[in-house]
Structure 1
């Protein structure tokens, strides 16, 4: 019986070590997959507000973007399709259009102009344009929304989110980076408080 217990204990220790190693590998591979998916979306933008009744094609999106942002030429669109969500009911919010642009410089220019204009209206369609992030990255960036709202009300502070989800706050000439929304909120309280 003592021999059996000793063998079981040894087996448990061995299995625990294997599980710990596999957990580390799983985290490493999960981070690698996230990075690869983020890189594959690098030239993508999401266009929100195009009615569901509108047929989506590369030519349509290219012309719409050129007109909306008053670009000198139509950007080269590799692919354009609706997000893979459920089709909304009548009167519901239309699905986003995911667009892959051929040139990263076109994407950067479109996003820059979208930030400047904020409300974009063309062809009687009000649209918004956003970067296309993975779900994990989008959740991590959205966690900073409350802190960013608070920072907008404070004068003399610059802030922004670095990729993938790091909030940078510049106050009195000093930069501070936060990966935790809670730490950022504590810092904002020290500024306002």
Structure 2
């Protein structure tokens, strides 16, 4: 054990001797020349000062670009806010004009239906190949409904087939439209037709309707899903003038006059959800999407930047490789 320790001491002594001999081989002048060319603290401070000046210039240029970009972004956001405000005004104006157009359309439709108050539409009367006597056919049909003699006079202002080309022989016959001169007589005929479960004329089943405008018929067709549900649940309804679908339940009158009334009507009657198209055009529930929200542009507070390399270089305690300041030899 002692011999091993002696050998280790001898090897360390040999290593120290070899280092001393290698350092003694370097000339003193060469060492001084090498140390003279090493950078000093002043050189490092000058170097980092130049770095700082370049960084400051770059940061200033970058800050100017950011401020310019921020100004442009702020201008764009202000233009966007102005455009949105203008769009809101236009949307409000369009909605107001849409209500005006709807009211005008309802008024025109009401006038059209009032002009048809004395009109009756008969469906199912076959068309003859020869010239047909439509007034005679209608007088016979109406007197049969009123349970009067067939030759009882009925004053008609006009009577004709629907104003469209005659269809193929296999196509259904065109409707007959007539205007009864006396309104009370027309109402008697309509009441008698409603009480009849089926109406026949010369062996053919016919139907008697109130003549209505095209817009009213279109709206009624769009509300057919709701009327089907009402019939399935034995809920009585009636059509009103101007156009309205009316139901009385629990001493409350509920009506559909506009497409927007459909959701509340369904909710009040506890009906299943059905798809009803907007007879004024477009989807029934077509709500605009919510507007995107954003934060206002805020300028970032300027902070003094710190150069870690410069601080480490100038402070000996921050970097372990730097010792105390030395002077040139």
TM range (shorter): 0.7 to 0.9
Q: 2:124: which partner in 1?
A: 49
| 2:221 is aligned with 1:149 | no
SS in 2 for 1:158: coil
Q: 2:168: which partner in 1?
A: 89
| More helix per residue | 2
Measured in 2, the distance between the counterparts of 1:138 and 1:110 equals: 21
User: Are the aligned partners of 2:109 and 2:242 in contact in 1 as well (CA < 8 Å)?
Assistant: no
Unmatched tracts of structure 1, length 5 or more: 1-15
- Residues 27-176 of structure 1 correspond to what in structure 2 (within 5 A)? 31-53=106-128, 55-71=132-148, 73-155=152-234, 157-176=235-254
Q: CA deviation at 1:94?
A: 0.4
CA distances 1:93-130 after superposition (whole Å, capped 9, x unpaired): 00000010011111111111212113201221211000
SS in 2 for 1:148: helix
| 2:262 is aligned with 1:182 | yes
Aligned CA-pair RMSD: 3.1
| More strand per residue | 1
SS in 1 for 2:127: coil
Q: CA deviation at 1:33?
A: 4.0
Note closer, same or farther for the CA distance 1:34–1:168 as it changes in structure 2 (3 Å cut): closer
User: Are the aligned partners of 1:49 and 1:96 in contact in 2 as well (CA < 8 Å)?
Assistant: yes
Note closer, same or farther for the CA distance 1:146–1:30 as it changes in structure 2 (3 Å cut): closer
Q: Normalising by structure 2, what TM-score? A: 0.46
User: Are the aligned partners of 1:158 and 1:171 in contact in 2 as well (CA < 8 Å)?
Assistant: no
Measured in 1, the distance between the counterparts of 2:99 and 2:224 equals: 31
Q: More deviation in 32-41 or 166-175?
A: 32-41
